Structure 1
Amino acid sequence: MTVHSDRLAALRATLAADGLDGFVVPLTDEHMSEYVGSYAQRLGWLTGFEGSAGSAVVLADKAAIFTDGRYTLQVRSQVDGADWSYEAVPESSPASWLKLHAPEGGRIGYDPWLHRRDWVRQASEALKARGASLVAVGDNPVDRVWRDRPAPSIAPLTVQPERFTGRSSADKRQQVAEWLDQNKADAAVLAALDSIAWTFNVRGTDVSHTPVALAYALVHADGTADLFVAGEKVTPELRQHLGNGVRLHERAAFEKALAGLEGKTVAVDPERSVAAIFEALDKAGATIVELRDPTVLPKACKNAAELAGHRAAQARDGAAITRFLKWVEETDDLDELKASGRLEAIRREDPAMRDLSFDSISGYGPNGAIVHYRSSEKTNRRFEPGSLYLIDSGGQYEDGTTDITRTVAIGEPTQEMRDRFTRVLQGHIAIDRAVFPKGTRGGQLDSFARRPLWEAGLDYAHGTGHGVGSFLAVHEGPQRIAPVGGAYAGGDEPLAAGMILSNEPGYYKAGEYGIRIENLVLVVPVEVEGAEKEMLGFETLTFAPIDRRLIVAEMLSAGERQWLDDYHAEVVRKIGPGLGAEERAWLEEQCAPL
């Protein structure tokens, strides 16, 4: 048996001893985070899956792992098909799978600190078809068999200066207080880690690549707040920064504090808060008002200071990417790990860099077709002439978060590769040039990026764009450019000025190569002569050369050619001053008019 087979057997033995017929294992934490600390990587520990989204169900005689289209190839390479069935989301889900496979009258366990309340309702309803029930556990059985499970981080919180945030924590809490007054509520639960970091102007290192700290918060209608965080993480600087308006408590005291809200009206975000929070408030006798976290939109719509920091970070990051791309072109005997390691080293020369914004996706040839691929010693590929190299990466700088993808030819590309790359570029340009009325949803724009691919009978199995934070989460809601519903839900959020999104259409030929072109864009007001509505568009924020060797110029319209030439001219203006003479000369050559 493999190590993961042994772990699965150990979990099954524990479930049997607990009188449970199954257990659901999500890849999340108590804060509904997308990226989680090492202590919460239960799915990866149990199955071997290294992706950032997924879940599993374990029964006594069968088990299933659920992933979306980004991980179709990856999950099969990392998770043993002899132990697990591979289930595609959204076509399947843990609830729908349990409806078919749960034992009659069975008891299926779940951890209420790791699931939303609506999921609990859906799964409970699905299990009724089998006469089965969902059972909340107080002690997660995966944790009991995970003998060497890491402890949650106790790294200290740091203060994010107001020159980067643009607003004081007191000002942000007062905005929440006014929102509570409008909604006739006494307090709001903040459970999302990036919401807490933004509200209190603090950052942390508890989650790889996302500068947040493990904490909960209650913000009250008088503008004061209770912050629940491990005492080891609190410094004198933090206490001084928070002031008298914020009361500090141990993170473990949060559930007890919820029990003390009897008679209060409490606003809770059902998307960002786990079922256990609702259960504790119900038990306390509080009145729950289900409303979206009041910090979500203010956090998404960046202010002038945040945008200034972001633009500065993007210029430095673009210079780092340019130096890297020149190095790739001029270096022999490369492989995926050597390349991504070099890019990280270049980025870390910037004293403002704090971390990568995610594990770099460094994929050559067939590995580039794995959308969320992560290279390892086992999968590392050496670069050989005749294919493509895809590098999706980003940095967490004290003044901004970056995310960029470039695809470059290694040797001579095929005509098919150039055709596909040009179609992806056309989709990218279509998003960048879009002009749309205020109130337009990201889902309405998504097909702009896909049309050139659709015309050739092609598509890609991921969203076109995600929101990005300000030295916060590289995937930040609520805005998305994605199909409405399904695995990429979020495309129904109206786009608003100040929101930052990625623009990243792609194409992936399984077993051969992958293509993606990604820049970050800012939603801005646009003046349209004779317009009868307020109009919006995008300002490009990311500047680095796009590989002209992969472009079929004849496929581009005059407007698309002009866009590319204008973009490359702007790259030289933005990035050139941060480069040495040789690097600038190389950049100018790459950015010559098409």
Structure 2
Amino acid sequence: MVEAGADTCTRSPTATATATASFFVSYLERRGRTLDLSFPIRNGGGSTRRSAVADGVPSTPLDAFIVPSEDNHQSEYVSDRDKRRAFVSGFTGSAGLALITMTEALLWTDGRYFLQATQQLSDRWKLMRIMEDPNVENWISDNLPSDAAVELTRGVYLLKWLKNGHKLQKKKRQKLVHLSVNLVDEIWKDRPAADIQPVHIQPFKFAGRAVADKLKDLREKLLKEKADGIIVTALDEVSWLYNIRGNDVSYCPVVHAYAIVKSDSAFLYVDKRKLSQEVESSLEESGIEVREYSTVDSDVSLLASGKLNSSVANVYHNQALVPRENVVNSEDIQKEVHSQAKSQKFGSIQIPAALLCIQD
């Protein structure tokens, strides 16, 4: 458990909230609109919508947008670069979710952080106490108009939000939408640069099992599930599976990376600048092809179509790239990889498993 106030952001909460407010105001004012609120998205009570997007980005009508705490890998503890919710709200606790509408800015967090949130949130924000106040899904349904469009920060949405989107659509024709860009990143002008930390191979005497043995067991599970491949997104699970370690998240020995494993091939998606020639050669000797981190989306699509091939002899947020009928959300495989990862000294990392299996 993390003590309240233990997390830090690269900016003070007050400066963060003030800067964020001015960014959103300036975007809409450059379109000839005069605004009184920090986070204007929609005209109150009207059908005319306003768009909070950066110059040069196609305008998308929104009624509200959601900024979760998690990164692309659904990690609770994230790098400074991924602290989007902290940047938007000024609240630096590890757990929380921000919802911003035309007239309100709300933040949900749990009991660990109630006191910290009251100290860090400005008077423009309303604290929503988890287990005491309505959850975000019910709040959207009860307070936003029918046919409302709610943007969910690109790259960090969970499977549960896809399910919630169906519920909102069915109940009030409300819908979750995804812009082609990450809205927060567009306005975060001094966002910390990616930290290039070296990747290390975990020695066998500490890993306890060779990568080849782990891949063999995983492929047996895939065969049992009649699945062609699996996408691993949780950082601790990727690190465990390929016996790699890093320092991309403070106090967590993990690497920002994805893994895809097929019956005849395995891939690691990582910023190659983090790999020495020795490390990359070691991975290739284990039958792992290293590809750039940014290519995972396109490779997920190739995997779904049966066209992902290796030159070497799930993702919740990538589910939209794969036809629904081709997705198997296998609890057996998920539990296997997750439990094995936790047993390898990753028990203190609260990162949910994120696995998808792809059928032919």
Superposition TM-score tier, normalisation by shorter sequence: 0.7 to 0.9
Deviation, 1:103, is 3.6
Residues 477-513 of structure 1 show CA distances to partners (whole Å, capped at 9, x for unaligned) of: 789xxxxxxxxxxxxxxxxxxxxxxxxxxxxxxxxxx
Please say if 1:7 is aligned against 2:20.
Answer: yes
Could you say which residue in structure 2 is the equivalent of 1:290?
329
Could you say which residue in structure 2 is the equivalent of 1:209?
251
Deviation, 1:199, is 0.6
**Structure 1 pair 258–190 and aligned structure 2 pair: CA distance change class (3 A):** same
Choose from 142, 163, 166 the match for 1:121. 163
Please say if 1:90 is aligned against 2:131.
Answer: yes
Residues 539-561 of structure 1 show CA distances to partners (whole Å, capped at 9, x for unaligned) of: xxxxxxxxxxxxxxxxxxxxxxx
Aligned 8 A contact 2:197 2:246 in 1: yes
**Structure 1 pair 229–135 and aligned structure 2 pair: CA distance change class (3 A):** same
Mapped to 2, the partners of 1:265 and 1:149 lie a distance apart of: 36
Aligned 8 A contact 1:169 1:199 in 2: yes
Could you say which residue in structure 1 is the equivalent of 2:358?
none
**Structure 1 pair 41–477 and aligned structure 2 pair: CA distance change class (3 A):** closer
Could you say which residue in structure 2 is the equivalent of 1:239?
280
SS of 2:303's equivalent? coil
Of structures 1 and 2, the larger Rg is shown by: 1
Aligned 8 A contact 1:110 1:136 in 2: yes
Could you say which residue in structure 1 is the equivalent of 2:292?
250
Residue type at the aligned position of 1:100 = D
Please say if 1:226 is aligned against 2:267.
Answer: yes
Could you say which residue in structure 1 is the equivalent of 2:320?
279
CA root-mean-square deviation: 2.4
SS of 1:261's equivalent? helix
SS of 1:258's equivalent? helix
Aligned 8 A contact 2:222 2:228 in 1: yes
Deviation, 1:193, is 0.6
Q: How does 1:100-499 map to 2 (within 5 A)?
A: 100-126=142-168, 129-222=171-264, 224-244=265-285, 245-264=287-306, 273-275=315-317, 277-282=318-323, 287-292=326-331, 293=334, 294-300=336-342, 302=343, 470=345, 472=346, 474-476=348-350
**Structure 1 pair 71–123 and aligned structure 2 pair: CA distance change class (3 A):** farther
Choose from 109, 115, 139 the match for 1:67. 109
Structure 2 unmatched ranges of 5 or more: 1-13, 29-40, 42-49, 52-58, 309-313, 354-360
Aligned 8 A contact 2:268 2:290 in 1: yes
Deviation, 1:124, is 4.5
Residue type at the aligned position of 1:68 = D
Aligned 8 A contact 2:233 2:259 in 1: yes
Aligned 8 A contact 2:168 2:175 in 1: no
Aligned 8 A contact 2:65 2:101 in 1: yes
Deviation, 1:298, is 1.9
Mapped to 2, the partners of 1:286 and 1:261 lie a distance apart of: 14
Residues 70-126 of structure 1 show CA distances to partners (whole Å, capped at 9, x for unaligned) of: 11111111111x211111113432211111222443221113421112222214423
Mapped to 1, the partners of 2:140 and 2:319 lie a distance apart of: 24
Mapped to 2, the partners of 1:201 and 1:174 lie a distance apart of: 14
Residues 428-468 of structure 1 show CA distances to partners (whole Å, capped at 9, x for unaligned) of: xxxxxxxxxxxxxxxxxxxxxxxxxxxxxxxxxxxxxxxxx
Mapped to 1, the partners of 2:103 and 2:299 lie a distance apart of: 41
Choose from 3, 25, 31 the match for 2:73. 31
Aligned 8 A contact 1:263 1:286 in 2: no
Residue type at the aligned position of 1:475 = I
Aligned 8 A contact 1:96 1:126 in 2: no
**Structure 1 pair 214–231 and aligned structure 2 pair: CA distance change class (3 A):** same
Could you say which residue in structure 1 is the equivalent of 2:90?
48
Deviation, 1:130, is 4.5
Deviation, 1:136, is 1.1
Mapped to 1, the partners of 2:245 and 2:210 lie a distance apart of: 14
Could you say which residue in structure 1 is the equivalent of 2:120?
78
Mapped to 2, the partners of 1:8 and 1:119 lie a distance apart of: 26
Deviation, 1:9, is 4.8
Residues 191-228 of structure 1 show CA distances to partners (whole Å, capped at 9, x for unaligned) of: 10100000111011111111111111101123x31111
Mapped to 2, the partners of 1:6 and 1:477 lie a distance apart of: 30
Aligned 8 A contact 2:69 2:97 in 1: yes
The structure showing larger relative contact order (alpha-carbon pairs under 8 Å, at least 6 residues apart) is 2
How many residues align? The count is: 300
**Structure 1 pair 200–30 and aligned structure 2 pair: CA distance change class (3 A):** same
Aligned 8 A contact 2:63 2:101 in 1: yes
Mapped to 2, the partners of 1:132 and 1:155 lie a distance apart of: 42
Deviation, 1:243, is 2.8
Mapped to 1, the partners of 2:173 and 2:341 lie a distance apart of: 44
SS of 1:86's equivalent? strand
Could you tell me the TM-score, scaled by structure 1's length? 0.48
Aligned 8 A contact 1:185 1:265 in 2: no
> Which stretch of the first structure deviates more once superposed, 9-18 or 59-68?
9-18
**Structure 1 pair 100–6 and aligned structure 2 pair: CA distance change class (3 A):** farther
Q: How does 1:525-536 map to 2 (within 5 A)?
A: none
Residue type at the aligned position of 1:90 = M
Deviation, 1:67, is 0.4
Residue type at the aligned position of 1:227 = L
Residues 234-266 of structure 1 show CA distances to partners (whole Å, capped at 9, x for unaligned) of: 212212321341011101110111111244599
Deviation, 1:473, is 5.6
Identity %: 29
